Amino acid sequence: MKTTISTLAVLLFVAGTTVTAQQSDYQVVQDFRADYNELVERVDNAVSSEELSEINADIDALEADNSGHSSLIDGYIYPNSFEGKISDLRSRYAAAENNVQVIESLNEKVAELEDEMAELRDRLSALDEDSQALANRLERAAQNERRLSNLVRQYRENLENRDAFVSDLLEDLLKRYQTMDAQTQEEIAAAAEALEDNPLDLLRTILAEYINLAERETGLDSEDYLRMRAQHGYFSEVWDNVGERMASTYAAEEPVQAKQEIDDHLDAWLASVDNKLWNALSTSFNQSGVQLPSFTSATAFNNALNTYVDEMTEVSLGQNSEEDYEMFSNFSEFWNSTVKAEWGEFLVAGNVLSQGDIAAIDVKVGSWGQAAEPVSNLMFILFLVSLAVIIGLIVLLVTKKE
Amino acid sequence: MAKSKLLTLSMCVAFLFSAAACSSLEISNVDYSQPVESVLTVENNEVHDKRYAIKFNISPVLDEEGISSVDEIRLIRSNRGYYFLTASGFNHVYVLEVTSGGLDEKNIIRIPGDALQQPAFNQRDGFIELVDLATGDTHNLDHNGRR
């Protein structure tokens, strides 16, 4: 019984093999061509290493499955050949491998940039939210002076943190784009096309918030606005260095327009800061007893300082009164301990006064000091006394002779 | 006498030269075999094999087969230069010989059993293999018939 079943199974297997062994050469060639064309399409459209490794295995399989029919295929696809087709597939595969490497590297770059942007946005948003919350609290606490002072301090710290964060970002941009070679720029530009949010957008957001901060009424003083101007100066300097390259990288289609947009934001920011700065400076000088002529620009401020010192020197030379000396001492104290010591760095960085301007005023203040220093009357009194003594002696001698 | 011998000899030489001049060029051992069959779509009973540059009307074959139309035919040329033609639904393979401007019947080979369902020709060494892919039946053919 067992033998019969085994024999039957063998017969069925042989019969089945016979049926399946029947083939059409035409079908073999058509299948090869279809498989080849499909592989060409897959190779040309491959975008990942995983796809490529599957394709590589399929190319091997196509070669192995059809090598027995190579002469048949050669005859049918003449002047091409089976070897030629497989070799063509392998060449396409090698080219696709290079492309995929580039694509994967670009994808990594896109992911990196996106992560970076997201992190920067998060930090910026957190700082801006804090800043907004503090500004709101400042408005509400306007009546309570002690509380107000604390809040202004906190608000100021928040602005300083924001400035520090933006400065770090700018430094990073400077490092990254100032010496960037053309190839890297091209790679990043290609990756940037896939970015939803690129560094130019981030810069625009930062600038918009800076404008907003400068325009907010929050009890800030001259030093705060000078710090803003200094930050603007640093921002502009970095943008001058990397702006063109960043615009070409992240707005390859309209780089000029993109750069101009940031330039416009920078101008608006400066205008907002200046709108508050000149008044704040004028108030600070007034509060210290220095009545400067009015000014609404950096040059006018420099002129105002020079005019004030020149005029006061003239007055001191003419009067040499105690009052003049007091005026000088007052100005000198404010100039040295506040303007130079506390604001000096911001004045220079914010392009309000240059080191040369400050040095020139220093010289004039020195001259004013000499002119204002009151001259002592002791010598004159001694001279009069001596004169009186001499006259007295002469009178005595003449009287004795007579 | 000598003159007559000379004349005979000259005529013999002239005959030999003219016989050589009249013989035509002949190339033997030509292999016409088509490596893979052509599967040709029938349009208005006409087929056109662009690869092997042959175009003809299959109406006489359809008449012979008693079929009004077919979608496609299978055609292959043997190493001897005969065309083998069949199609799904045919009971025969038509062996056609190239003549001046035509294809003449060389043989009509009756395939035993039911009509062919999925016929396919394969070029084999010295013969044409006919396979019915639907049934797995195989027949080895040459221009004289089944081998």
B55-114, pLDDT tens digit by residue?
999 999 999 999 999 999 999 999 999 999 999 999 999 999 999 999 999 999 999 999
In a domain, B110, yes or no: yes
- Give residue A144's pLDDT: 66
- At residue A146, the pLDDT reads 67
A72 neighbourhood in chain B, CB within 8 Å:
35-36
- Does any domain span residue B44? yes
Rounded to a whole number, what is the distance in Å from the CA of A64 to chain B's nearest CA? 21
d(CA B133, CA B101): 34
CB A100 within 8 A of CB A88: no
Is B11 within the bounds of a domain? no
Q: What is the pLDDT of residue A148?
A: 66
Structure tokens at B6: 């000379």
pLDDT at B128 over 50: yes
In 3D, which of A366, A344, A341, A370 has the Cα closest to residue A357?
A344
The tokens for B39 are 């599967």
CA-to-CA dists, residue A273 to A154, A227, A328, A338, angstroms: 20, 10, 30, 20
Contact status of A375 with chain B (Cβ, < 8 Å)? no
The per-residue pLDDT for A66 is: 96
Please report the pLDDT score of residue B17 as a whole number.
55
- Whether B35 has its CB under 8 Å from any CB of chain A: the answer is yes
Structural domain total, chain B: 1
Measured between beta carbons, the chain B residues lying within 8 angstroms of A22 are 131-133, 136, 138
pLDDT at B1: 47
> What integer pLDDT is reported at residue A8 of this predicted model?
42
CB pairs under 8 A between A and B: 40
Domain residues for the domain of B136 are: 38-146
Q: Average pLDDT in the B111-136 region?
A: 95
pLDDT of residue B11: 65
What per-residue confidence (pLDDT) applies to A114?
78
| Residues of chain A under the 70 pLDDT cut | 1-21, 141-148, 191-196, 217-218, 375-378
pLDDT of residue A13: 40
Q: Chain B contact for A80, CB < 8 A?
A: no
Residue B7 lies in a domain: no
Q: Residue B26 domain-assigned?
A: no
* pLDDT at residue A318, rounded to an integer: 82
Domain-located, residue B84: yes
* B132 contacts on A by Cβ (under 8 Å): 22
* Chain CA centroid to CA B45, Å: 20
pLDDT of residue A206: 85
In a domain, B5, yes or no: no
